[in-house]
Homo-oligomer: A and B are copies of this chain.
Amino acid sequence: MAAVLAYGHASSVPGSLSVAARKQCLAGTSASLRAGALTMARRLLVVGGDAGGMGAAAQARRRDPRLEIVALERGNWTSYSACGIPYLVSGEVAELEDLVVRTPQQFRDTLRIDVRMRHEAMAIDLDAGRVEVRDHGHGRTIRLPFDELHLATGARPRRPDLPGIDEPFVHGVQTLDDAAHLLAHAEASACRDIVVVGGGYIGLEMAEAFAVRGAKVTVVEGGPQVLGTLDRDMAEPVVHAMRRAGIEVLLETEVVAFSGARPGREAGGGGRTSGGTVEMAATALRADLVLLGLGVVPNAELAGDAGIELGPKGAIAVDPRQHTSAGGVWSAGDCCASYHLVSRRPVHVALGTVANRQARVAGINIGGGYATFPGVLGTAVTKVCSTEVARTGLTEIEADRAGLGYVCATIESTTAAGYLREASPITVKVLAERGTGRLLGGQIVGGRGAAKRIDVLATALTATMTVHQLVDLDLSYAPPVSPLWDPVVIAARRAATEVDRAC
């Protein structure tokens, strides 16, 4: 019995007591806990069956074989690569199942995790240590108690409040269930005309995917540039690449409404079974399918309604161990906030890499270990129409917002020695803090082999290197993979000169 208690204590976090332990403190006695410890295992309840949830569940299981783990997923899939959805649409990936890393059954069999599919958490009662759950499969509502609760409710595509936004031909793409709906729609109708609303990563990737399928694709972006997480000068080459690939891109064009096609109204006819019109101020576009690429909103209402503290953009606030403001409640993934290593402020960054890393940290802590999540750089990369794009740290706008003075340097080079056929153009932009020369961020656009160079800048940012230190990096060189001075170093050297000049 003593061993069981010691074990229970070891898994508690200072300042973040589990509900059971908290109750024990409040009651001033441990009798009820002791009585329970003999008969019941500690229960972790996980809400959300993708990376942020199941990654934590798997880690917790590895650390604590005695933990009872119940995981709720409101959809039909666990642990999948949402980032792979565009390649499913383009046909490079054959089946939805190819994107699944681990099925519910595999979680049950190999990790003894009680995964309950089509179960949706509706409300959290923190005082009672209980979650109200809607079992969609059986049309019933149940209550599940927990000792530790892990919230990984993810995010959902932003849906602007426009007339017709709920028309069935308007799709967001976030989950594998979304992808299944989309593919069903695309296969049922001709999908010759596609409109993507918003020029974020997923929007551009989906635009390309449908273009590869042979559709006529138009991207409608309200702002002056695509890829708003890049500086405008770095986003421009991406638009050129898309236009060269036959994708129409309309900038500074606001969508004002969507209207579904009604029987008899449609001009083209043919095999089209659905679709409608995307209306803008001055024009309108016929669309068999509309995709929303306007970014995401954290699914944090469940936490917020329970009184758990929310942070930037309404994402769940967490401490470095991924613990929320409520004792015994943890969070990871697209639903929760992060700390930005360069701006030194809380941010909401919804990326698979971050979700997985946060989940690992949460799981280690839930399982009784100790781990902290140091923070994010907002490192991101994509490939659009053969052009690779990458960013890390702060852009000019972000540095301004963070109150940091900076200099910029942008250079053009090649991905390989200029005399070789495989050499592609590459543009590297580097931001450095005025005075100190501290690297603040970088952006890269170019041909094959360009984008992954961003990782050098991400590593240097983590080490808070100056651009002067970057100049001295002993990076690899051979004609097929790099010019003699790596483009990242050339950019850093230019930035160092600017820093010295601005002093």
Q: Which A residues are within 8 Å of any B CB, using their own CB?
A: 81, 83-84, 87, 92-93, 98-99, 341, 351-354, 356-357, 373-383, 388, 390, 392, 417, 419-421, 449, 451-456, 458-460, 462-463, 465, 469, 472-482, 484-486, 488
Contact = CB atoms under 8 A, between A and B. Distances in A.
Contacts of A453: 452, 455
B353 A484 contact: yes
A354 B474 contact: yes
Contacts of A488: 455
A381 B463 contact: no
Contacts of A356: 484-485
A333 B374 CA distance: 40
Copies of this chain in its oligomeric complex: 2
A455 B473 CA distance: 9
A482 B45 CA distance: 32
A474 B451 CA distance: 14
A478 B419 contact: no
Contact of A87 (B341, B381, B479): B479
9 contacts: A83-B417, A83-B479, A83-B484, A87-B417, A99-B419, A353-B484, A374-B472, A449-B452, A462-B473
Given A81-B419, A381-B476, A463-B463, 5 more contacts: A353-B476, A356-B484, A379-B475, A459-B463, A460-B463
Contacts of A379: 474-476
Contact of A455 (B351, B421, B475): B475
Contact of A383 (B98, B373, B463, B481): B481
B87 A477 contact: no
Nearest to A393: B474
Contacts of A377: 474
A81 to B, nearest CB: 7
B84 A381 contact: no
A400 to B, nearest CB: 22
Contacts of A474: 341, 353-354, 357, 375-379, 392, 458, 462
B473 A83 contact: no
B417 A81 contact: yes
Contacts of A383: 478, 480-481
Contacts of A473: 455, 458-459, 462
B419 A87 contact: yes
Contacts of A480: 383
A429 to B, nearest CB: 15
B353 A477 contact: yes
Given A98-B419, A352-B484, A449-B449, A476 B390 contact: yes
Contact of A452 (B351, B381, B476): B476
A498 to B, nearest CB: 17
A378 B474 CA distance: 8
A341 B473 CA distance: 11
Contacts of A354: 474
A84 B420 CA distance: 9
A84 B476 contact: no
Nearest to A422: B92
Contacts of A478: 83, 380-383, 451
A481 B451 contact: yes
A457 to B, nearest CB: 9
Nearest to A444: B476
A99 to B, nearest CB: 7
